[in-house]
């Protein structure tokens, strides 16, 4: 049961989370579309927004105002570290503006750029970085030694042998080509170190520039390098779904260790 001094009416909490007016949220509750901690909610319920697990139509609603979810366009040359021993530009330079202590979800190496998710939601971080949930990532890579042979895509889809075992992409597309340079798009869910660069090297086309354009359902869009935006509640719910959140009946709450990825 929520503590008396932290409990608020459910419709007020839903409205504050962006689900609509209080009247509209009352209608959601009346239509039995809202659950609290796995139980169908009813009008008059009170909840602690910092601790209750609230869902609408099975999708999570983030009501804890202390939780933050940020999409950052990490510039090239910035290391995915909060304390770089070599004194290079680091994520801490970008995070100082936020009141909460945030951590990065996975990694991008210093020479890579693009979408990096930042949050203080430990459960979501564990899910997104654990190999079990196979969260897909999309990359745009500029490569050399073109033009690309027609079988490069088939090689990457069927798998290439690396020093730490075989690896394959989930999807591959040639975006454009000019002389000996080409742009390719790759989708994969692996998180091994420098996996994209090593795969492209293995098929004879070293990467000269690498941009991550999406993580699961979240896209980089037109964020400028160093720019950021807050994720919407719908985007957070979509991330949970992509990371294996199946709702009250099928949800797993096991604790998992984060697996670093370094592309």
Secondary structure of the chain in the HEC alphabet? CCCCCCCEEHHHHHHHCCCCCHHHHHHHHHCCCEEECCEECCCCCEECCCCCCEEECCEEECCCCCCCEEEEEECCCCECCCCCCCCCCECHHHHCCCCCCCEEECCCCCCEEEEEEEECCHHHHHHHHCHHHCCCEEEEEEECCCCCCCCHHHHHHHCEEECCEEECCCEEEEEEEECCEEEEEEEECCCCCCHHHHHHHHCCCCEEEEEEEEECCEECCCCCCCCEEECCHHHHHHHHHHCCCCCCCCCCCCCCCCCCCCC
So what's the pLDDT on residue 16?
A: 86
262 is a catalytic site residue: no
Query: Which whole number is the average pLDDT over 213-220?
Result: 95
What torsion, rounded to 10 degrees, do the Cα atoms 86, 92, 94, 100 define? 170
Query: Which whole number is the average pLDDT over 194-210?
Result: 96
Contacts of 166 (CB under 8 A, 6+ apart): 159, 160
Is this model's pTM higher than 0.85 or not? no
d(CA 176, CA 37): 49
So what's the pLDDT on residue 137?
A: 94
Question: Comparing C-alpha atoms, which of 113, 137, 159, 123 is closest to residue 216?
Answer: 137
Of 27, 64, 84, 109, the catalytic one is 109
Contacts of 82 (CB under 8 A, 6+ apart): 90, 91, 92, 95, 103
So what's the pLDDT on residue 246?
A: 60
Residue with tokens 């971080």: 125
So what's the pLDDT on residue 243?
A: 84
Which of 38-52, 154-168, 242-256 has the weakest average pLDDT?
Answer: 242-256
Mode of pairing for the β-strands spanning 165-167 and 160-162? antiparallel
Query: Which whole number is the average pLDDT over 98-110?
Result: 86
Q: What is the mean pLDDT of the chain?
A: 86
Contacts of 55 (CB under 8 A, 6+ apart): 34, 35, 61, 247, 248
81 pLDDT higher than 70? no
So what's the pLDDT on residue 5?
A: 67
């Amino acid at each position: 049961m929520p503590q008396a001094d932290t409990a608020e009416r459910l419709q007020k909490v839903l409205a504050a989370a962006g689900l609509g007016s209080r009247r509209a949220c009352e209608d959601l509750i009346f239509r039995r579309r809202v659950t609290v901690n796995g139980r169908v909610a009813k009008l008059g319920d009170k909840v602690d927004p910092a601790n209750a697990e609230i869902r609408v139509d099975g999708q999570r609603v983030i009501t804890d105002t202390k939780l933050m979810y940020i999409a950052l366009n990490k510039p090239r040359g910035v290391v995915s570290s909060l304390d770089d021993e070599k004194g290079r530009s680091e994520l801490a330079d970008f995070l100082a503006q936020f009141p909460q202590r945030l951590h990065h979800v996975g990694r991008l190496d210093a020479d890579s750029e693009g979408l990096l998710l930042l949050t203080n939601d430990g459960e979501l971080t564990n899910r997104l970085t654990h190999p079990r949930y196979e969260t897909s990532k999309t990359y745009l890579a500029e490569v050399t030694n073109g033009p690309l042979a027609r079988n490069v895509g088939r090689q990457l889809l069927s798998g290439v042998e690396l020093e730490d075992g075989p690896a394959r992409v989930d999807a591959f597309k040639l975006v454009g080509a000019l002389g000996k340079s080409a742009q390719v798009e790759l989708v994969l869910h692996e998180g091994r170190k420098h996996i994209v660069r090593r795969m492209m090297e293995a098929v004879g086309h070293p990467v000269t520039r690498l941009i991550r354009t999406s993580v699961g359902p979240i896209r980089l869009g037109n964020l400028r390098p160093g720019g950021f935006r807050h994720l919407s509640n719908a985007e957070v719910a979509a991330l949970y779904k992509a990371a294996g959140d199946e709702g009250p009946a099928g949800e797993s709450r096991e604790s998992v260790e984060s697996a670093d990825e370094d592309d």
